[in-house]
Amino acid sequence: MAISISASKLFKLRLHSPIILRHLSTESNPPPSPSPSPPPPPPHQDQDSLVTRALQLLQAPDYDSNSNTTTPLQELLFSSSSPSSPFIFRNITRRLSSSSEALKFFHYLQSNSPSQDILPSLSSTFQAIFELASREPDSHNKLLELYGTAKEHNVPLTINAATLLIRCLGRAGMVDQVLVVVKEVDPSLKNTHFCNVVIDVLFRLGRVDDALKVLDEMLQPDSECPPNDSTGDIIFGAMLRREWRGRSINDEEIVGLVSKFGEHDVFPDTFKLTQLITKFCRNRKTGRAWDLLHDVMKSGGVVEAASCNALLTGLGKGGDIERMNKLTTEMKEMNIQPNVVTFGILINLMCKSRRVDEALEVFEKMKEGSDGVLVEPDAIMYNTLIDGLCKVGRQEEGLSLVEQMRSQNGCAPNIVTYNCLIDGFCKSGEIERAQELFDQINRESVFPNVITLNTLIDGMCRHGRINSAVEFLNDMQSKGVKGNAVTYAILIKAFCNVNNIDKAMEFFDQLSNSGCSPDAIVYYTLISGLSQAGRMDDASSVVSKLKEVGFCLDTVCYNVLIGGFCKKNKLDKAYETLKEMEEAGVKPDSVTYNTLISYLSKTGNFTTAHRVMRKMIKEGLTPTVVTYGALIHAYCLIGKIDEGMKIFRDMGSASKVPPNTVIYNILIDSLCKNDDVEHALSLMDDMKVKGVKPNITTYNAIFKGLRDKNLLEKAFELMDRMIEQACNPDYITMEVLTEWLSAVGETGKLKKFVQGYEVSASSA
DNA sequence: TTAGGGTTAG
């Protein structure tokens, strides 16, 4: 008792010392807490029996009596013959039934210890009390109270006890208390595990900046608590978290942190690195993704193909071929083996840019391993190539790849394969073959999906078989393949194209009632169809519906409406729409202005047209070839060809907008109609000089001009040129030439022309 | 890896 007083005196003396106020621990290298960890190897074999014996004595009636004589328990715990270890008391405490029992034992030790040396043991005893309390109900409040008791008795917390406390408080959401404990822990005790727990807890509580401050200290070059893989897991995991409390870690911070971690040889694993790169790429930040990957490479982290693939995908989407090449070279240099995905990305890119032959070349080399890497293609790769072939009209080659697929194990053609082929046949107008494939699917127990449905419906609609398309839709729906927004967009567009607006509206309503809501494209398609048809009231009511469901009009949609109002001679409504557009923050583009300029000039309002053009320039837009075309066309229409020619000369020289075929066509047509075919012919020469290719409209206009003046020889010359240029005649060409050449007895020339066309068509 | 996107001058 006397000694215990002196011990407490000692504590009191130290109470004023700032050092002891920090909860110093004497336990130098503690095992991780709170899981019950095996005690350090006992100095004496009888340590276990001592613990057992002590626990028995703690049940005895004289345990908490204030006896003046030395009790057996005191003898056991404090005598010099007892095995001494700071962990003995802790091990006894751990085996007590509750934290309150343990606290009682703590008080007993404090009161009965004959020596001051008990201090280190009391810290680890307290840790054991924390461990018990942490497993009891209401643990956070109990621990907080115990923390107060420890401070009161000047028992410094072990770092493990502090860790346990913080974790428990964090779980209970007690962010302020967490920060207090962190502040009060002796910095010299902090270890990496402690810091990891603090950071993890702070992140979960949304205190990102506090967490990053702790992390920043860990990342210093001379840090006492350098980051380890667990630190990396916590931070890299947090970077990828979608749901955030507090603020999120921004991209710049992510790159900086990964780089700093690299200095400590800690790297995100392949999965996390890949995810981070993907995240950057999705936000179109390929530059950051590039830096991230290269930081890891430079610091010596492991980089696998998956991470490179993520970056290659991002670079491909951004069209950064140069960096793609650089990265694939680096992969080779660093011995990072490309896989089927790597090749898939490259082949897909080539196919999408219509370089199918190059894609096939890479594919062959990959299969043979002739470039040192042998990779077996998968179904996705075959599908990519088949789609690429079909998109350039090479369906037959696509079909032969399907045969290759069949001969390779585990690579059977699937619904995607067939959808690509069906689309190919549909786009080339071979609807029957598309339907045959569709039937084949059903025989092969590959199940058609909504994409199959839409592809076929689109093909039928584009080739004038709307009724078959609707029939097919009904048939499929009865078999369980339901249409979606895409289906309806296709049908709405198709019915608008044939000017069956009522049917288009009907399908729109059907979609709205089918439980599958129309998306923005469906609205845009219908608004466009209605505007083209001049049904501006209907268009406006669809616009209202679109706004009601929360979609916005974009530039193109506003342009469609402005064009529609112009067509209906509702200039005021067009201007109103323009104003609304500007107020909604949707910037008018050159099409917006061109639409207005075209309407104004066609209605003879040239002054206003030029004023709008000046406004266009003031808004930072450059007049385009269409702007000039609109003005030229309008001047030509009222017979002011000179004015048109003036603009034509001006656009090429002063404005540096090179005229295109359409501009020449307008002028050539007008000159011919104005009896000036010579001038029109000189413009055709000019086209040749400028490298602007005439098309069938050009030829039709000039043929009419030549016919009116009966300039046969010139016509023959141009007919030859048409064949040379593989420019196909259309029904207008045939009508003009047949009538004219028959009348002048030159049917032989006509026959030769048609044959030449057939030859040029077959060679093309 | 597969399907629908609307606008301005001829």
How would you classify residue A675: left for phi > 0, otherwise alpha for psi between -120 and 50, otherwise beta? left
A508, A522 contact by CB (below 8 A): yes
CB atoms near residue A159 (< 10 Å) = 24
Q: Which of residues 669-688 of A touch strand B (CB under 7 A)?
A: 669
Q: Which domain holds residue A553?
A: 484-585
Instruction: Look up residue A617 and give its two tokens.
Output: 């320039």
Per-residue flag: A383 CB under 7 A of strand B: yes
State the pLDDT at residue A4.
34
SS3 content of chain A, % helix, strand, coil (to 5): 70, 0, 30
Taking the CA atoms of residue A247, residue A253, residue A259 and residue A260 in that order, the dihedral angle to the nearest 10 degrees is: -70
Rounded CA gap, A671 and A627, in Å?
A: 20
Token readout for A266 is 């800690």
Q: Is the CB of A723 under 7 A from strand B?
A: no
Do A213 and A220 contact (CB within 8 A), yes or no? no
Q: Note whether residue A111 is domain-resident.
A: yes
Please state, in angstroms and rounded to a whole number, the distance separating the CA atoms of residues A558 and A581.
7
Mean pLDDT, to the nearest integer, of A717-737? 91
Would A209 be classed as within a structural domain? no
Mark which of A585, A609, A639 sits at the end of a domain. Answer: A585
- Residue A302 tokens read as 């492991």
**Domain count of chain A?**
2
Considering the domain boundaries, does residue A618 fall inside one? no
A381 CA to B1 C1' in angstroms comes to 7
A91: left (phi over 0), alpha (psi -120 to 50) or beta: alpha
Chain B nucleotides near the protein (CB, 7 A): 1-10
In whole angstroms, B2 C1' to A462 CA is 18
CB A469 within 8 A of CB A457: yes
Q: Which residues touch A669 (CB under 8 Å, ≥6 apart)?
A: A636, A697, A701
* pLDDT attached to residue A244: 67
Residue A573 vs residue A38, higher pLDDT: A573
Task: Write down the pLDDT at residue A69.
Answer: 74
The answer to whether residue A352 is domain-embedded is no
Express each pLDDT in A174-215 by its tens digit.
999 999 999 999 999 999 999 999 999 999 999 999 999 999
Q: In terms of C-beta density within 10 A (0-12 exposed, 13-18 middle, 19 or more buried), how is residue A453 classed?
A: buried
Domain end residue (candidates: A189, A210, A243): A189
Amino acid at A191: N
Is A165 part of a structural domain of the chain?
A: yes
Closest nucleotide to residue A558 (Cα to C1')?
B7
A419 Cβ within 7 A of any nucleic strand B atom: yes
Is the minimum distance from the CB of A560 to strand B below 7 Å? Answer: yes
pLDDT over 60 at A3, yes or no: no
Q: Which of A304, A401, A407 is nearest to A351 (CA)?
A: A401
Which of residues A189, A209, A226 is at a domain's end? Answer: A189
Question: Residue A30 CA to nucleotide B1 C1', Å?
Answer: 55
CATH of the domain at A508: 1.25.40.10
| Residue A475 host element (H or E) | helix A466-478
In a domain, A543, yes or no: yes
Cis previous bond, A34, omega within 30: yes
Which residues 179 to 218 of A reach strand B, CB within 7 A? Answer: none
Q: Is residue A561 part of a domain?
A: yes
Main-chain phi, psi angles of A246, to 5 degrees: 70, -160
Does residue A21 have a pLDDT over 60? no
Q: What's the CA A721/C1' B7 distance, rounded, in angstroms?
A: 34
Strand B–CB A695 distance below 7 A:
yes
> Is the C-beta of residue A127 closer than 7 Å to nucleic acid chain B?
no
CB atoms within 10 A of CB A748: 9
Tell which residue, A552, A605, A550, A548, has the closest CA to residue A575.
Answer: A605
Residues 6+ apart with CB under 8 A from A718: A699, A702, A703, A706
Checking each nucleotide's C1' against the CA of A488, the nearest proves to be B4
- Categorize the per-residue pLDDT at A32 as very low, low, confident or very high, splitting at 50, 70 and 90: very low
The better pLDDT of the pair A21, A743 is held by A743
**Structural domain contains residue A413:** no
Residue with tokens 């307008």: A666
CA dist., res. A164 & res. A32, Å (int): 10
- 3-class state of residue A589 by DSSP: coil
Q: A39 pLDDT band (50/70/90 cuts)? A: very low
Between CA A91 and CA A39 the distance in angstroms is 8
Flag whether pLDDT at A25 surpasses 60: no
* CB A66, CB A79: distance < 8 Å: no
Query: Which pLDDT value is given to residue A30?
Result: 40
